[in-house]
Chains A and B, each alone.
Chain A
Amino acid sequence: MSKASLEITNLTKKFGKFTALNDINLKVTEGEVFGYIGPNGAGKTTTIRVLLGILQATKGQAKVFGLDAWKDAVEIHKRIAYVPGDVNLWPNMTGGEVIDLFVSLRGKHNKTRREKLLKDFDLDPTKKCRTYSKGNRQKVALIAAFASDADLFILDEPTSGLDPLMEQIFQECVLEQKNNGKGVFLSSHILSEVERLCDRVGIIREGKLVETGTLAEMRHLTRNTIHVETEKIVEGFESFKGIFDLKQKQNILTFQVDGNEIGAVMAHLTQHNIKKLESTPPTLEDLFMLHYDTKGG
């Protein structure tokens, strides 16, 4: 059993009457890359702010490295690096100055790493922050984070303003940290990014955590899309258990099937001599939509 880097127990956060987070339970182990997905206003940023000790939990507990996120914030921050979703910087400071400030407020300064990241992300550090676009401000925060020697990276929609090329650089940075055994808590909208980087995923909706697990686990619980062509025409298939969205054109079938019914369905189909079979696992997007469209789990 590896140790937990983050542990959230029964966390509730209210702003006045509005409940932003409702009884969240979440555990992330050390060295794990965890994807935290959900639409705008679901509570992703609030969760992160509680983890950082910027907001205080109304009920429940948030622990980072076994320490209390609120009380031991400073101690925790020695081991984490954070990139906010909306990077607001001081208009009259240069990007270079801000990076140096951020890095030095954490601890050690690694100059070669800073220069390498500046080059990779293609950022001009001599420009004042007021002239930076959203993407460039995000780069400032990302460079400051990845130039830090942290054990856990908390990233709040870090790539929403980056172009695809920079998105690629970002993913490489995350994978590099992952290979070094560092943990990443990544809140994101970009599902392909989460799919590529994350070991486990949590889906949050309206302040509630509706699903957590590895992508494989989540897929197991959900329906695969099957496209099959048989020699003999399958009849009465629609009455089969666990079949959805069936479209039949004589001997060609397209349908979705529940994970736990797939064995029986396949056995039945084999009797009709399968000529061609394609099975598509649900993408994260499908999982996501499943949770948001049908409001089911």
Chain B
Amino acid sequence: MRNMFTGNFENSVNLMRSMLKRDKMYIIIWVVLLVAFSALLAPGVNAMFPDEEARLTVVQIYDNPLMISMMGPIYGKDAPGGFPAGAMYSGFMLVWVILAVSVMNLFYVVRNTRGDEERGRAEVVRSLPVGRLANLNATMLSALIMNTALGLFTGLGIAVMGVEGIGFGGSMLYGLVLGLSGQIFAAITAVFCQLSASPSGAASLSGITLGALYMVRGAGDSAGNDFLACLSPMGLASRSQIYVENYIWPSLVIILLTVIITALAFRLNTIRDLGQGFIAAKPGRAEAKKSMLSPFGLSWRLLRTGLIAWVIIMFMTAASYGSVLGDLPKFIGDSPEYLQVIGIPEAMLDVMSDDAKAEIIVTYFMAFISMMMTLVCIVPAILAAMKPRSEEREGRAEHIIARVVSRWKYMCGFVTLAFILSVIMQFAVAFGLYSVTESILETNPIVFSELLKAYLVYLPAVWVMIGFAVFITGLLPKASSAVWGFYGFVAFLSFIGGMVDLPEVIKGISPMHHIPQLSPTQLPLGELSYPPLIILTVIAAVLTVAGFYFYGKRDTLTGM
């Protein structure tokens, strides 16, 4: 029996080395991005809000249940030495960064456990003199290395910035809490990888759990219920009160929980078979629903889950933006930089009453975010329009067009959905914003029909983007990344367009540039003029038709 223990873990370290080697890029990219994000934003707090008073004003705005439920509690407002910049930094950042770190761990664990099993690699490894638990053990150990690196570099990175009020001890605790939060989520994912028999099953169960932990924490934080919040690692992490009290006990609790959860994953791994899970894959439909038995039905079946998720997410994002509108005038009324970003001439605000000022700020802010929101809404529309290309590459388009379906009809399902989706997304965002403003603003200056118009006016630009995606799919299928390149260019121009003077010719390449920003209130803002909208629509139509034409004429490229 002596070998029972060592035998199970045989060769773990070798496996771990090979994992680190093969996932080198995954780890490096995630860690570098996260460290850079945390470190580079640290000086921003002091730059934007140099004194305690400014910080307290901002925090006051965010001190409503909705924002706290999204970001977590902010401590130290009445700290004896004054409200430290660090408290604001960690209050705004910690929960979000933990979410990102959890996602990093989620995919890392899934791909190295279930992913390897599904692809049959685990079987090859198992046939070597390798212990039964070695693979899971190696995954957890390499995750620990990844999280340690993340925590250490984040802590050092923030400390190196030397920001006043963001001290060394607090920064290292911040890093430690991040690393530990990552590791506990690696352990949670490892448990789900034992329960579910497929990588996507394990990933979605872990993802849902992450969402649930975030919400439990949000509910606890916003209601001031510490116990409820502490049921989630994110709630525990917040309770460290980093840069204020720098408590260590939450970290100890997280370590203890991580050990228990990891042990559970190991236990489950020993008693299951390779490739099997505890949650039996429930049998699916033996027969297809009538509704999916057409080219259009198939495209809906393939896209629906993603599309519905996008609509819901954008609705909620819009609602959360709407929720800050009430406090917005106080927040940005006196910040010339902010006014410039959203495009209000400072002089406009000088001679007005507070109410009139508020209305102007709300109007301009809403117009500004309408562009941002639309940019995000373009993403799922492009994804839908390019689906035929990815299906083609995977060799699945062949099944369909080798049957009694013409190429055009095949492509038509996806492209139609992309266009329909583009309209639904604009509606969803407008509804999302309005649903909250109505209850939050005492005197709501927003007129729903105007707000809707302000969003729908972007549609011709969105359609040009869809048309471009169709065009590339038809003419240059191997250059599909050009679509994302163009999208990046358009997004870039949209953001810096208001701040930098660029030649009109360059700005004009972006379809977004030709869309007027309409006022969602009764205040006048951009003027609605039809010719550019009509021209954009025509361009979109030409691109789409040309895309179809070329798609019908070219070879179907399986695997290319």
A residues contacting B by CB (< 8 A) are 49, 52-56, 73-74, 77-78, 82, 84, 86, 88-94, 96-102, 104-107, 124-128, 130-131, 141
Contacts and interface: CB of A to CB of B under 8 A. Distances in A.
B118 to A, nearest CB: 7
Interface string B280-302: 01011111110011110010011
Contact of B396 (A89, A94, A99, A105): A89
B403 A100 contact: no
Contacts of B200: 91-92, 130
A58 to B, nearest CB: 10
A86 B393 CA distance: 13
B293 A104 contact: yes
A114 B269 CA distance: 39
Nearest to A13: B555
The residue among B286, B398, B405 with the most chain A CB atoms within 10 A of its own CB is: B286
Given A54-B398, A86-B395, A97-B284, A73 B406 contact: yes
Contact of A77 (B395, B396, B403, B555): B403
B403 A102 contact: yes
A171 B403 CA distance: 23
A77 B302 CA distance: 23
Given A54-B398, A105-B293, A128 B284 contact: yes
A94 B281 CA distance: 12
B281 A100 contact: no
B206 interface: no
B80 to A, nearest CB: 57
Contacts of B398: 49, 54, 84
Given A77-B403, A82-B402, A130-B118, A94 B284 contact: yes
A18 B310 CA distance: 43
B404 A107 contact: yes
Contacts of A131: 197-198, 281
A100 B404 contact: no
B401 interface: yes
Given A54-B556, A82-B403, 20 more contacts: A55-B555, A74-B406, A82-B402, A90-B302, A90-B396, A91-B200, A93-B284, A96-B286, A96-B287, A97-B284, A97-B288, A97-B292, A101-B292, A102-B399, A102-B403, A104-B288, A105-B403, A105-B405, A124-B283, A127-B283
The residue among A56, A93, A97, A130 with the most chain B CB atoms within 10 A of its own CB is: A97
Contacts of B301: 93
Given A97-B287, A101-B288, A130-B200, A54 B293 contact: no
A116 to B, nearest CB: 14
A106 B396 CA distance: 16
Contacts of A86: 395
B285 A105 contact: no
Given A73-B406, A100-B293, A105-B293, A54 B285 contact: no
A73 B287 contact: no
- Which applies to chain B's interface (DSSP): helix, strand, loop or mixed? loop
A101 B298 contact: yes
Contacts of B401: 53-54, 73
Contact of A105 (B118, B284, B287, B404): B404
Nearest to B302: A90
A56 B402 CA distance: 13
Interface residues of B, number: 36
Given A90-B302, A91-B200, A97-B287, A52 B292 contact: no
6 contacts: A88-B396, A90-B396, A101-B288, A105-B400, A131-B197, A131-B198
A152 B522 CA distance: 68
Contacts of A100: 287-288, 293
Nearest to A126: B283
Shortest 9 CB-CB contacts between residues of A and residues of B: A100-B288, A126-B283, A94-B284, A97-B288, A104-B293, A105-B403, A88-B395, A96-B286, A54-B556
Contacts of B402: 52, 54, 77, 82, 84
A93 B288 CA distance: 9
A143 to B, nearest CB: 12
A101 B403 CA distance: 10
Interface in B400-414: 400-406
Contacts of B394: 88
A254 B69 CA distance: 90
Contacts of B283: 94, 124, 126-127
A90 B286 CA distance: 15
Contact of B286 (A55, A78, A126, A141): A126
Interface in B91-132: 118
Contacts of A52: 402
Contacts of B406: 73-74
A287 B142 CA distance: 55
Contacts of B554: 56
Contacts of A74: 404-406
Contacts of A54: 398, 401-402, 555-556, 558
Interface in B269-326: 281, 283-289, 292-295, 298, 301-302
A186 B287 CA distance: 29
Contacts of A84: 395, 398-399, 402
